[in-house]
Structure 1
Amino acid sequence: MPAASSAARPDRKAQPDRKAQPARPTLRGAWLGQWNSAVTSYYVLLGATVLLLVLGLVMVLSSSSIDSLADGKSAYSVFLNQAKFALMGLPFMIVAMHLRPAVYKRIAWPALIFAICLQLLIFTPMARGEKGNTSWVYLGGGITIQPSELAKVALAVWLGVVLARKLPLLHDWKHALVPAVVPGSLAVITLVLAGKDLGTALILIMLVAGALFVAGVPLRVFGVLAAGTGVVVALLASTANRKGRILELFSSADPAGAGYQVKRGLEGLGTGGLTGVGLGAGSEKWSYLPEAHNDFIFSVIGEELGLLGTLLVLGLFALLGVGMVRVIRRHPDPMVKITTGALACWIIGQALINIGVVIGVIPVIGVPLPLISAGGSALVATMLALGILISFARDEPGAREALAARPSVVRKSIAVVGSATWRRRAHTHGPSGNNEHG
């Protein structure tokens, strides 16, 4: 036995040392490698944007067809109008995707001035109002726009440029707020409030807060701004209509009263269950739920696509948020970081407010679900903002070179088709090109 044992030892020693072999990459390591890629932010933002846009068009068609027929119009009228604005916003988004941050720095001031001038048109005969708000401007030819939506984009870029230039001085509250940041932001917000659009004004305030936070403004400044904002909002919300919406959150009033819309929205969400009643088969859109294709489209998603559909929407917005946070963490330019923070608070914050309204935890303030609710100006402005964010992701360190080194989809398709054709010809013909079977 000892002899056999000693004879076996040289064989074990002769085996190669496993520790000396290079470790094979694990599946987890491969995923982490892909996630830490320089182009991850680009693909996350682009993919989530496209999926939300497509889902929005499908749900606008489903939620608006019944009301359109009831009004004597085509069942596709609202959908075609939304698709038209999506096609209008696509060139703006593509151009914005390919601009460098230096271009946005040059156009920041002209863009803000243009947005303010456009917002001033609500005081002219071109202004159009709806449900107590004067937020739209008629440009002729059947085109009506909401200037405050474009003002969001301009204000975010402008804040990024101004705060980035004053970055070394932002520890002092006087430099953080004046002479430009507060007057410029107040000019836009005040003009929006002049049109009685409290919902959009709140989104603008969130946008400004996001820019100041990413810029590193001292937190005590946020306390002062929050107190001032609270006072202004309380004064503006003192009207009978807005006060009724707030009180509805804490009371069991008449279901046909101010809380009717929220109650119908909750019923739609509760009806859907896990998988929903089926796309197009919902009943709330049959003139039971007001603004089914606009502010309360999330309720239609919950009814027709169920819990899984609502989780899909939340997941896509979460991906957008993750992509924006990656840009803030990875991009070296302070202007890019600050502008991204402002746009993130607008888009993600507005989505959370809209969903909060539908589930009954926030009073109805009339803000759409980005990329999904019907609304031309909101859709074009959001696509433009996301184009800017995608351009920032393309400008991350190493991203532009990585994207340039990767073959395009068209080149890949041509290569695949060409390879398949060559193999087919090689199978049919001999090396000299003559038919082997002839």
Structure 2
Amino acid sequence: MVDIAPRQKPGRQGDGRRRSGLADWFHAPTTSYYLIIGSTVALTVFGLVMVLSSSSVDSYDGGQGSSYSVFDRQAIFAAVGVVLMIVASHVPLSVWKKMSWGLIALAVVAQLLPFVPGVGISENGNNAWIHIGSFTAQPSEAGKVALVLWLGVVLGAKHKLLGQWRHVFIPVVPVVAILLGLILLSGDLGTGMIFMVLVLGALYAAGVPLRMFGVAGIGLAIIAGAMLVSSPNRMARATNWLSGGGTSDPLGGSYQSTHGLWALASGGFWGEGLGASRQKWDYLPEAHNDFIYAIIGEELGLPGTIGLLIVFALLAIGLLRVIKRTPDMCVKIVTSGVFAWILGQAILNIAVVLGLLPVVGVPLPLVSSGGSALLTTLLGLGIVLSFARNEPGAAAAMSRRNKRIRGSLAVLARPRTNGRNGR
């Protein structure tokens, strides 16, 4: 009998194996861990490169005498933050639960420090910073980590009772109101908005009924509106944005938005090249901070901006996998809060740069300059990595991988013998 079945072209079977291997990797228990840590490291390294590029002129011209001064500080915070993330990734959930109440208490105390004379300092119209010796930080950044962890513990323990108003109200509303109130009193509406998004993300993951979720959303929107109306500066920026898409007053309230859009436009498709930005020459305020995305677009063009969005999307997929795969309600809520915090802040920052929202002053997570923000973001992701390490099957898979690595290293470390004389 003659076999007349069509022969498969060379390479097709191999392609099938590659596709199967990719699918197997995506469904592996350790994929969440590698997606999160890989995208986090990639964003941090890319952020260091762009901070160096966007801050070099301002650092030198600002009287600091070195084009590397801002970059050097950011690199130190990045190194410390990565170590902190790795340490946090090995802390078990039981320890995080025990620490949650102490951390939220410290967060409230720390948020009082900007109001202490001689400690609190004003920056860009916000009294949200503290200065002790040579150390400058924004306490609200640490408050994000404390709040998301505390919400996970409290809502996770009460999730079967959250259909009743009193179990949602006590103790969540008083604690959130105190922390959020102190942030808004300091004048930092941008950080306050991120706190609101974080709280809503945690409530949604906890399964709070939509009617309560809606009431919380309306209440937070009213607070944000009141903060907007109470500040002439914020009101002017919102009015400029509404009247002309952020460019109605290019030499006044819309100056920053206008130059951000000019940076993106001048970059074109391929960009001007790394380090070749024109707007960073004292034209675009906060080029290495809130508007670093504009510099990315100007220097690296569309591939740079889209590539950055893809890495953020990979981070989002990793976080969503942890939420979906974990059986622990506390883990779901904490990871959802971190997801809402980091991805929500990234979307808000990019929307501001694109002129889709008025300027609110929020940095791009892991990319913008800012030591305290980078440290706490890496810590928050380290907590989620500790959850990803304990996904069903992940711990065993990592143990097997570590044994293989140790075995390979042991083989490499063996002294080689000569085949003739045995030496």
Fold match by TM threshold 0.5? yes
The match for 2:376 among 353, 365, 381 is: 381
Report the Cα offset of residue 415 of structure 1. Answer: 5.5
What amino acid sits opposite 2:120 in the alignment?
A
Runs of at least 4 residues off by over 2 Å: 23-30, 250-254, 407-419, 429-434
Deviates further, 101-110 or 401-410: 401-410
Q: Which structure has the greater CA radius of gyration? A: 1
Distance in 2 between residues matched to 1:123 and 1:241, nearest whole Å: 21
2:211 aligns with 220
Secondary structure of the corresponding residue to residue 128 of structure 2: strand
> Is the CA contact (8 Å cut-off) linking 2:256 and 2:285 kept in structure 1?
yes
Query: How big is each residue's C-alpha offset from its partner over 1:203-245, in whole Å with a ceiling of 9 and x where there is no partner?
Result: 0010000000001001111221122122221111012211111
Sequence identity of aligned pairs in percent? Answer: 49
Residues 416 and 356 (structure 1), Cα distance of their counterparts in 2 relative to 1, 3 Å cut? farther
The match for 1:371 among 359, 366, 373 is: 366
Distance in 1 between residues matched to 2:260 and 2:106, nearest whole Å: 38
The match for 2:60 among 50, 65, 69 is: 69
Distance in 2 between residues matched to 1:27 and 1:76, nearest whole Å: 44
Aligned residue pairs total 408
Equivalent runs, 1:1-80 vs 2, <5 Å: 11=1, 26-72=17-63, 73-80=65-72
RMSD: 2.0
Distance in 1 between residues matched to 2:185 and 2:303, nearest whole Å: 40
Equivalent runs, 1:11-160 vs 2, <5 Å: 11=1, 26-72=17-63, 73-125=65-117, 126-140=119-133, 142-160=134-152
Distance in 2 between residues matched to 1:240 and 1:111, nearest whole Å: 35
TM-score, normalised to structure 1's length?
0.89
Query: Structure 1: which 5+ runs fail to align?
Result: 1-10, 16-22
Residues 416 and 75 (structure 1), Cα distance of their counterparts in 2 relative to 1, 3 Å cut? farther
Distance in 2 between residues matched to 1:60 and 1:198, nearest whole Å: 24
Distance in 1 between residues matched to 2:190 and 2:404, nearest whole Å: 41
Report the Cα offset of residue 411 of structure 1. Answer: 4.1
What amino acid sits opposite 1:65 in the alignment?
S
Report the Cα offset of residue 94 of structure 1. Answer: 1.4
Distance in 1 between residues matched to 2:249 and 2:140, nearest whole Å: 34
Residues 249 and 416 (structure 1), Cα distance of their counterparts in 2 relative to 1, 3 Å cut? farther
> Is the CA contact (8 Å cut-off) linking 2:200 and 2:217 kept in structure 1?
no
> Is the CA contact (8 Å cut-off) linking 1:275 and 1:305 kept in structure 2?
yes
Deviates further, 79-88 or 225-234: 225-234
The match for 1:430 among 406, 419, 422 is: 419
Distance in 2 between residues matched to 1:171 and 1:315, nearest whole Å: 37
> Is the CA contact (8 Å cut-off) linking 1:173 and 1:217 kept in structure 2?
no
Whether 2:225 is the aligned partner of 1:234: answer: yes
> Is the CA contact (8 Å cut-off) linking 1:173 and 1:218 kept in structure 2?
no
Report the Cα offset of residue 86 of structure 1. Answer: 1.3
Distance in 1 between residues matched to 2:135 and 2:156, nearest whole Å: 36
Distance in 1 between residues matched to 2:356 and 2:408, nearest whole Å: 49
What amino acid sits opposite 1:134 in the alignment?
N
2:8 aligns with none
Secondary structure of the corresponding residue to residue 237 of structure 1: helix
Query: How big is each residue's C-alpha offset from its partner over 1:176-217, in whole Å with a ceiling of 9 and x where there is no partner?
Result: x22111111111101111111111011001000000000100
What amino acid sits opposite 2:419 in the alignment?
G
> Is the CA contact (8 Å cut-off) linking 1:275 and 1:307 kept in structure 2?
yes
> Is the CA contact (8 Å cut-off) linking 2:365 and 2:377 kept in structure 1?
yes
Secondary structure of the corresponding residue to residue 277 of structure 2: coil
> Is the CA contact (8 Å cut-off) linking 2:240 and 2:249 kept in structure 1?
no
Report the Cα offset of residue 276 of structure 1. Answer: 1.2
Distance in 2 between residues matched to 1:409 and 1:311, nearest whole Å: 37
Distance in 1 between residues matched to 2:175 and 2:420, nearest whole Å: 74
Report the Cα offset of residue 31 of structure 1. Answer: 1.6
Whether 2:171 is the aligned partner of 1:180: answer: yes
TM-score, normalised to structure 2's length?
0.92
Query: How big is each residue's C-alpha offset from its partner over 1:9-32, in whole Å with a ceiling of 9 and x where there is no partner?
Result: xx369x9xxxxxxx9964333221
1:309 aligns with 304
What amino acid sits opposite 1:432 in the alignment?
N
